[in-house]
Structure 1
């Protein structure tokens, strides 16, 4: 039985996605003047697919052996293939990156507010409604 019914772990996964997306956007902005740099993005769909297909298990040759499984997480970061905005081959569009950064910041803050609400509710219950 989970104390929060999986809500906190779902919010944590959302925060991990938002954090990775923020890092990717920051990397794109930092490389805006780098020749032949291809802009990167994070795909939630790709992250979900990678998480579902990333379980590694060992071959169990004897029933006395312990079962061994490990989740290998690979982030859903990908590069835009042939995208070029400049003559030098750079594929970063600053207007798009700034808009994505603003949208991702709003998403991240909404998740933080939701987690704070959950923890405040738990705190109220622990204190007996005071």
Structure 2
């Protein structure tokens, strides 16, 4: 039985995504002057499209066959952008883009945290009997 209807789990996965994105952006910013460094990004849309396209229903005709279900919990990937170079030293980190992405990710993260706080606030109200 899922006590919270999966909402808390999805919000937790959203926080994991935002954390992974923040780590990738932080690595990019800290390596902005490293010669040959290639920027990384966390992709969600392509991983989601892959998961949706591979969700064909398949039937096992024998219990010894390998099951078709996927065990991937988080639909995001970390990809390295290796086909561009912005600087003379082979580095492709655009600091303005990274700072913009960092600000967007912080807004997203704060929104998810606010939603989790609201969910737990509702649970506290229920536990206290509506007071």
Tell me the TM-score normalized by structure 1: 0.80
Q: How far does residue 45 in structure 1 lie from its aligned partner after superposition?
A: 2.4
RMSD: 2.6
In 2: Cα distance, 1:31 partner to 1:50 partner = 30
Preserved contact between residue 21 and residue 41 of structure 1 (Cα < 8 Å): yes
What is the match of residue 40 of structure 2?
40
Between the aligned partners of 1:72 and 1:121, the Cα distance in structure 2 is: 30
Cα deviations by residue, 1:68-96 (Å, 9 ceiling, x for unpaired)? 99936695000112111101110000000
Distance 1:79 1:49 in 2: 19
- How many residues are aligned here? 123
Cα distance between partner residues in 2 of 1:103 and 1:39: 17
TM-score by length of 2: 0.79
Q: 1:23 Cα shift?
A: 0.1
- Give the unaligned 5+ runs of structure 1: 54-61, 63-67
Which residue number in structure 2 is paired with residue 118 of structure 1? 119
Q: After TM superposition, give the deviation of residue 48 of structure 1 in Å.
A: 3.6
Q: How does 1:1-130 map to 2 (within 5 A)?
A: 1-48=1-48, 71=71, 76-130=77-131
RCO higher in structure (CA 8 A, sep ≥6): 2
Q: Secondary structure at the match of 1:71?
A: coil
